[in-house]
A and B are shown apart, each in its own frame.
Chain A
Amino acid sequence: MATSPKPQKPPVLQYDEQLVNLYEERYLPHVDRVYRFAFALTLSLETAYACVKATYQQAAVKLPSTKHLAETGILPLLVETCWKVYQDAGYSQSSGGNSGLSSALKPLSISERASLAAVDVVGLSTADAAKALTWPEVDVRRNLAQARRTLIQDKPQF
């Protein structure tokens, strides 16, 4: 059964218009990609949303210190944060959902799912994915290769 942290209403941060605009224009457009990455990790839509929400909470808190980050660095940062949130929050106990996609991804290890989702779903380069997942790039390549090979050979329906 999926476990998720007890819902708490986060405090609303008081930011000036510039930071609010930065958040709305540079961070929020990536929510769906981060959500899909989180789903690949948790295999549950509900837990994936909890993961995304926690990710954006952290991103919002760090907004003043990351406001000079290049636009191309924001999506890798969000994936990195989501990955940490996933690991720290214990979502790994998730038993997953029942969709065809979750059934297809379930045979993969979490490392393989993370690599596959970061590169083939979110669209990061393997270098950015390695940085976000805090692994050597060679490990990401191995995980990626294993995930693709498994899915090609299993030919799951989704």
Chain B
Amino acid sequence: MAVTAGQLSDNDILYGYLPEYLDGELPSTIAPKYEQLLQTAGKESVLEEFQSLRGRLQLSMQSYYLRDREQSELAALVQDPRVKATVENVKIAELERGVAVSTMVRRVAMVVFVVGLGVAAYWQFGKTSDNTFKPLEYLGYEALALEEASRERLNLPSHETKEVSQYLANYPGLDFKPRMLRNVPASWELEGATVIDYEVAKVVVVMYDHRTSKNNEKIIHFSFAGRLSDLPRSEPGNMRGLIYQTYASNDQNMIAWQSAPNVVSMLVGRRSADELAEIAVAGHNN
């Protein structure tokens, strides 16, 4: 129940509510009378003396405090100090175990990270390695596929040498000057051209069809950026100055030569290597 001014003497009000007055928290039942009492008593001196008194009282009291031993005695009221020590030791042990586990987890995570990094690096560089252009493998397969479905696989089916030449010359993104055999023997007719994009290499393809062949015999001229020495070594051949290397599968023969300083040509077909070399030589001669 709130105290009213009527319950207290003037001095009780004046000295009883000093902190509330200083903090601006006088109750509304007291406030009207308080200022008047304060003026009568000498406002400044009463407030000053009270603040000084309270400050000194609190400061003096603060020199009284319990020592560690006394505080330990009070703490021991709810827990035997030996039990407390044991509990603390258990907590410390748990903490140490936690730290050890955390350290182990961090180390494992670090190892996983490093292994992951290694795997990522392997994939990154391994992928590059795997994606290295392998002309013999890739173009042997392409030659078979082109033989079977030349119409679908040639981007430019054409018998016109000029048209094919322009197509190849204007093809975007080629990092070499594409080659084609211009003067192949008359028994071979230009059938068209395309460019195969392997991401790691672009290969220019020019296909010729044997005019009189009953089984649509083809020869395919591939050219791509590279060096002949990049290909696996094989028995070298020399057809009137054209130095070539010969490769063979069950179905096809393949000769490869350096058709320009940075361009390798490959001619693939079912003819013998010598015949293919003859065609290549003829194709290079104007």
Contacts and interface: CB of A to CB of B under 8 A. Distances in A.
Interface of A: 10, 12-13, 15, 17, 19-20, 23-24, 28, 31-32, 35-36, 39-40, 45, 48-49, 52-53, 56-57, 60, 63, 100-101, 116, 119-121, 136-138, 141-142, 144-146, 148-149, 151-152, 158
A10 B73 CA distance: 10
Contacts of B49: 152
Contacts of B104: none
B46 to A, nearest CB: 8
A44 B40 CA distance: 39
Interface string B53-73: 110111011101110001101
B53 A141 contact: no
A36 B7 CA distance: 30
Given A39-B61, A145-B13, A31 B71 contact: yes
B14 interface: yes
Contacts of B50: 148, 152
Interface of B: 1, 3, 7-9, 11-19, 46, 49-50, 53-54, 56-58, 60-62, 64-66, 70-71, 73-80, 87
Given A20-B79, A141-B12, A148 B18 contact: yes
A32 B16 contact: no
B3 A15 contact: no
* The 5 nearest A-B residue pairs measured at CB: A145-B16, A145-B15, A141-B16, A145-B12, A32-B65
15 contacts: A12-B76, A12-B77, A15-B78, A17-B87, A20-B78, A23-B77, A24-B78, A36-B64, A49-B70, A57-B77, A119-B19, A120-B54, A141-B8, A142-B8, A152-B53
Contacts of B58: 120-121
A100 B1 CA distance: 37
B56 to A, nearest CB: 6
Contacts of A137: 1, 3
Given A32-B65, A53-B74, A121-B61, A148 B53 contact: yes
Contacts of B15: 144-146, 148-149, 152
A56 B70 CA distance: 12
A101 B61 contact: yes
Contact of B66 (A10, A40, A49, A57): A49
Contact of B57 (A17, A63, A121): A121
Contacts of A53: 70, 73-74
A31 B64 contact: no
Nearest to A56: B74
A53 B14 CA distance: 37
Nearest to B2: A137
A40 B57 CA distance: 11
A120 B53 CA distance: 10
Contacts of B12: 141-142, 145-146
Contact of A138 (B8, B71, B75, B78): B8
Contacts of B17: 141
Contacts of A120: 19, 54, 57-58
A144 B78 contact: no
A60 B75 CA distance: 10
A63 B78 contact: yes
A53 B9 CA distance: 38
Given A100-B60, A148-B18, A32 B79 contact: no
Nearest to B48: A152
Contacts of A136: 1
B60 A138 contact: no
Contacts of A146: 12, 15
A2 to B, nearest CB: 16
A31 B79 contact: no
B78 A151 contact: no
Contacts of A13: 77-79
Contacts of B64: 32, 35-36, 39, 45, 48
A128 B71 CA distance: 25
B66 A12 contact: no
Contacts of A12: 76-80
A10 B77 contact: yes
